[in-house]
Structure 1
Amino acid sequence: MTSLQQQTLIWTGTYTADGGGRAKGIGALSAHPDGSLEWRGTAVEADSPSFVAAHPTLPVVYAVAEQRQMVRAFRRTGEFGLEPFGHPQPAGEATCHVAVDPLGRFLTAACWGDGQVLLYELDHDGGITRRFAAAPSVDPHGSMAPGQPRQSRAHASLMLADGRIMTTDLGHDALRIWRYEPGAGLIADHEVALPFGSGPRHLVQHRSGSVFVVSEYSIEVFVVRADAGTFELINRGPATSGGSLPDDSAAEICLDQEGNHAYVGVRGSNLISVLRVGPDGTELSPVKDVASGGDWPRHHLVMGQWLHVAHERSDNIATFALDSATGLPGTLIHNLQTPSPTALVPASRA
């Protein structure tokens, strides 16, 4: 058994019974140096905390209650526990993602059901104070669906290196860029329209400044980069090397620590696609698709030389060793059974 100092704590988002899942709340895992994961139990009972986020400096965790239209804060207690911190905060329909400002000033939430993007200001203890709703999305492709307005479906937020915030709208095929104004919330800066029907879902920023976006419906990766502060679409391509099936849907995208490879999860075909990042961060090239190690890879996480893949439907997290030269996952080195995992988020060091 390794010492606690050699372990890294990971929180797991989950689905509970109200969301068709088998979990009881936010889970706690220990990641060991050999890549194996250890189930520590349910950190706190909560209704369908399908996505969680950790405060950057404080022992506070935030979670959606997807079916309950709420966002909640929890405070660390003991080695692997959490306890409610403050009162639940109202959110929108099917709130599916939360993210925390790197400076700990605010929390953002994206609501898939009604398209709301929300900002919650935080106090010096990490508690949630005021709530602000951002301006609703206007479909940039509205003329392509006359008489049939499409539902806005906000899906994720990314804190950009320059202090702005980028959100995806899966229903309107758009990226929206915001500025934070204390006491007012999110102020619209500009937006980027992506191809009609693509369905931008999750996103990650490369060290070059480029943002890589994976699309749930078209199963592509888009590269956007800022020119004089305004993001523009500069590249697009397939997210997999072997194509996709009609019922497939892409989920998560993340980078290795060096930023040389990106990893995309595809549900249905149940694979992880490895893509090589071009030297200037303007291009992603599919290298190889590998079996994800379970059913419905909802989320995945690279920690050092290990790739952990959470499978919502088969109740397991598969761990692979990554080849340092090629970035490719090798054989499955560990398989942990855990109920309905939907997100893997390292705890803060606080």
Structure 2
Amino acid sequence: MTSPARHSLIWTGTYTPDGGGRAEGIGAISASDDGTLEWLGTAAKADSPSFLAVHPTLPVVYAVAEQAGTVQAYRRSGEFGLEPFGDPQAAGEAACHVAVEALARFVTVTCWGDGQVLLYELDRDGGMTGRFAAPASVDPHGSQTPGEPRQSRAHASLMLADGRVMTTDLGHDSLRVWRFEPGTGLIADHEVALPYGSGPRHLVQHTSGSVFVVSEYSVEVFVLRADAGTFELINRGPATSGGSLPGDSAAEICLSQSGDQAYVGVRGSNLISVLLVGADGAEVAPLADFPSGGDWPRHHLVRGPWLHVAHERSDDVATFALDASTGLPGPLVQRLQTPSPTALVPAN
């Protein structure tokens, strides 16, 4: 007798009409262990909740409202619903990413429009309390055009395994590492300057401790490793095996369950690139590029043996089966229609 398929829940970040999208708010998808997805509907109406994060132990979700410049907490309600939990908190211009610390002491929000990095302490129920702004970025490269400084554009936060936080700055081509101090927020630890014009966007930490950073503008992957607590750039290389084209921009980077492969989404050419990770996590090398299955792969998620790719402009999530030995995607399994998806975040 065949056992029934098990299902889990994936939240979708989206763009609504205020951000040029077609969604109504945070979406909900039912994900089966056979790889298939089912669109459940809108979990909570919200204005352009473009990125989400989930509390590690409580049924609480945090979403930025990119156009409004706020961050809002939500609580689970019913099968797949979400209801606002507390008032929206002021963030910065074009708040585009939110992350939750593993110990649930705080969330961080990064703002593409004005470069702000913000921390909100959490209470025992997951509610946001104190708001603390981190020191503003100073361009480590200086101004290449006198009198015309570059705009800081904070884009993502990564909670590091050692308890620190690393943030990317697209505009200043830099990574900043922070320590958390209760009642004060983020304290600067150190900074790493990446090549001028690279545009570091998203990042992930390998089990070796290395951090892999994908650059939106130069479409590369940078490898950083900590020496006595200070991260240093130890490797860089192209994010694709075939090279990038004019108009391409890299988006998300994530790892396979084994950590042997990294996956990078490239908008424009609409590719997913598979990269091999060296045994010690000190390097990554492009293996193969594959069509992403839609238009504008904004974000993607590895879920067991499945790769799900959210296409912002073609309003769908494409699913591929991953080869167990090579990590390479097989033929397209499914294209699920869902409005303007910008992020895929497992609910549990």
Normalised TM-score (structure 1): 0.98
Counterpart for residue 327 of structure 2:
327
Match of 1:180 in 2: 180
Within 5 Å, give how 1:311-350 maps onto structure 2: 311-348=311-348
In the alignment, residue 204 of structure 2 is paired with which amino acid? V
- The reply to whether residue 29 of structure 1 matches residue 6 of structure 2 is no
Structure 1 Cα separation of the partners of residues 316 and 127 of structure 2: 32
Residues 11-160 of structure 1 aligned to structure 2 (within 5 Å): 11-160=11-160
SS at 1:144 equivalent = coil
* Unaligned segments of structure 1, at least 5 residues: none
Contact 1:61 1:75 in 2 (8 A): yes
Alpha-carbon distance in structure 1 between the residues aligned to 2:237 and 2:244: 13
Within 5 A, what are the aligned runs for 1:254-269? 254-269=254-269
Among all aligned residue pairs of Structure 1 and Structure 2, give the percentage whose two residues are the same amino acid.
78
- CA distances 1:204-244 after superposition (whole Å, capped 9, x unpaired): 00000000000000000000000000000000000000001
Aligned to 1:294: 294
Aligned partners of 2:253, 2:23: CA distance in 1, in Å? Answer: 24
Give me the whole-angstrom Cα distance separating, in 2, the residues matched to 1:82 and 1:140.
41
Q: Does the 8 Å contact 1:155/1:168 carry over to 2?
A: yes
Structure 2: stretches of 5+ with no match in the other structure: none
Query: Given that residues 100 and 107 in structure 1 are in contact (C-alpha distance below 8 angstroms), is that contact kept between their aligned partners in structure 2?
Result: yes
Contact 1:2-1:32 within 8 A present in 2 as well:
no
Give the C-alpha shift of residue 147 in structure 1: 2.3
**Any idea what SS the aligned residue of 1:58 has?**
coil
1:252 positional shift: 0.2
Asked if the contact 2:143–2:149 (Cα under 8 Å) also holds between the matched residues in 1, the reply is no
- 1:306 matches 2:306: yes
CA drift of 1:143 comes to: 4.7
Q: CA deviation at 1:33?
A: 1.1
Superposition map of 1:137-286 within 5 A: 137-286=137-286
Give the alignment's Cα RMSD to 1 decimal: 1.1
CA contact (8 A) 1:107 1:120 kept: yes
Q: Deviations over 1:321-341 (max 9, x none)?
A: 000111110000111000000
User: Alpha-carbon deviations, 1:98-147, whole Å to 9, x = none?
Assistant: 00000111000000000000000000000011100000000000153432
TM-score, structure 2 length as denominator?
Answer: 0.98
Distance 1:302 1:88 in 2: 30
Output the amino acid matched with 1:268.
G
CA distance in 1, matches of 2:280, 2:10: 32
Asked if 2 retains the 8 angstrom alpha-carbon contact of 1:114 and 1:152, the reply is yes
Aligned pair count reads 347
How many Å separate the matches in 2 of 1:305 and 1:16? 31
